[in-house]
């Protein structure tokens, strides 16, 4: 049966080699264009969940569907190609390649997907870095680096953005600015998004807030902007 949701998790469980179970029989469906925040205590499995969704790790049981494609049916190469086309990533530590210019960094997903490179400049303009295309990451502040990461995550128009503590390294004002930018760009590009965060303020920018506990993903009461 072909699934039409952007993301569907069915009965996902994950236990680490040391016997610690982090996810148990977790199910959730993310509709196209939906932007959710996932909160939870440290070690509950938030980042693990993102890794499973991105195909960077495999669940012990259950199935993950991305745009109707079951991840378990993919080998590593196919999972990589899926990730390349359908996902955008934003990390707490920015992860911008230090020896490439900002323009080159943002162009990476376009290059990998064999798309025209013109949109990289547009995206840099959209995140407020017009005129800085030839700068190197070492010339940027933390907030600016995260803007580059947002531009890179969205430049190839992916279906799903995964953001892991995107404002964890930023001061509150910059964080708020980045979160607003992220939301507006995700919405403007018609993508769905999942943001994993400890911050209530960050979660508040999402359409819906989910709490990850041992019992699974639960909607947080009063946590919806939708």
Partner 1 sequence: MNRNLLFRWLTLGEWQAHRLQIVVSIIAIMLGIAMGFSIHLINTAAVSEFSAAVKSLSGQSDFQVRATQPTFDEMLYPKLAQHAGVAQASPILEIQAAIPGKADEIRNTTLKILGIDMLRAITVTPDLLGVPAEDRPFDMLMEDAIFLSPAAMEWLEVKEGDALPLRLGTKTVTLRVAGGLVRAHAGQRIAVMDIGAAQWHFDHVGVLSRIDLKLKQGISHEGFKAALERELPNHYLVIETADQEKRIHNMSRAYRINLNVLALVALFTGTFLVFSAQVLSTLRRRPQFALLRVLGLTRKQILWQILRESSLLGIVGSLLGLGFGYVLAATALRVFSGDLGGGFFPEIQPSVQFDPMAALLFFALGVGVTLLGSLMPAWEAARAHPAPALKSGSEEIALAGLRKPWPAYSCLVLAAILTQLPPVAELPVFGYFSVALLMIGGILWMPSLASLFFAWLFNVFNRLSSGALAGLALARLANAPQQAAIALSGVLASFSLMVAMAIMVASFRISIEDWLTHILPADVYVRTEVRQDAVGFSPQEQQMIANAAGIERIDFIHSLQITLDPARPTVTLIARPIDLADPGNTLPMTDDVLASAELPSDAIPIWVSEAMVDLYDYQVGKRVTLPLSDEPQDYIVAGVWRDYGRQFGAIQIQLSDYQTITGELRVNEAALWLQPDMTPTRFITLMKALPFGETLTFWQPNEIRAISLKIFDRSFAVTYLLELIAVGVGLLGVAASFSAQALRRIKEFGMLRHIGVTRGQIYRMLALEGGLLAGFGIGIGFLLGSCISLILIFIVNPQSFHWTMQLHLPWQWLISMALAMLIAAALTALLAGRQAVSGNVVRAVKEDW
Interacting residue ranges for partner 1, rule: CB under 8 A: 47, 51, 54, 56-57, 76-77, 80-81, 83-85, 89, 91, 93-100, 104, 108-109, 111-114, 137, 142, 145, 152
Q: Closest distance between partner 1 and the C-beta of residue 112, in Å?
A: 5
Q: Closest distance between partner 1 and the C-beta of residue 204, in Å?
A: 27
Q: Closest distance between partner 1 and the C-beta of residue 107, in Å?
A: 8
Residue 7's contacts (CB-CB under 8 Å, 6 or more residues apart) are: 28, 29, 30, 53, 64, 65, 66, 160, 192, 194
Closest to partner 1 by CB, 16 vs 29, is: 16
Closest to partner 1 by CB, 40 vs 137, is: 137
Closest to partner 1 by CB, 24 vs 80, is: 80
d(CA 151, CA 180): 13
Residue 10's contacts (CB-CB under 8 Å, 6 or more residues apart) are: 27, 62, 63, 64, 65
- Most distant CA pair in the chain: distance in Å? 51
Closest to partner 1 by CB, 28 vs 91, is: 91
Give the residue from 168, 131, 123 showing the smallest Cα distance to 147.
123
d(CA 82, CA 111): 15
Q: Closest distance between partner 1 and the C-beta of residue 59, in Å?
A: 14
């Amino acid at each position: 049966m072909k699934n039409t949701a952007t993301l569907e998790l069915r009965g996902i469980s994950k236990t680490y080699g040391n016997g610690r179970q982090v996810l148990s029989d977790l199910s959730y469906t993310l509709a196209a264009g939906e932007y959710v925040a996932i909160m939870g205590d440290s070690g509950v499995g938030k980042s693990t969940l993102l890794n499973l969704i991105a195909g960077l790790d495999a669940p012990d049981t259950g199935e993950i569907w991305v745009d109707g494609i079951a991840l378990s049916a993919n080998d590593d190469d196919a999972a990589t190609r899926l990730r390349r086309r359908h996902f955008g990533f934003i990390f707490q530590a920015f992860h911008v390649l230090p020896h490439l210019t900002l323009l080159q960094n943002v162009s990476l997903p376009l290059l990998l997907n064999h798309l025209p490179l013109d949109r990289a400049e547009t995206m840099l303009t959209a995140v407020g870095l017009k005129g800085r295309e030839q700068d190197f990451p070492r010339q940027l502040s933390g907030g600016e680096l995260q803007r580059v990461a947002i531009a890179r995550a969205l430049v190839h128009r992916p279906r799903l953005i995964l953001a892991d503590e995107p404002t964890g390294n930023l001061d509150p004002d910059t964080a708020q600015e980045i979160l607003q930018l992220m939301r507006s760009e995700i919405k403007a590009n018609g993508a769905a998004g999942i943001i994993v965060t400890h911050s209530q303020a960050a979660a508040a920018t999402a359409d819906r807030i989910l709490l990850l506990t041992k019992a699974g993903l639960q909607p947080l009461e009063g946590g919806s902007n939708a």
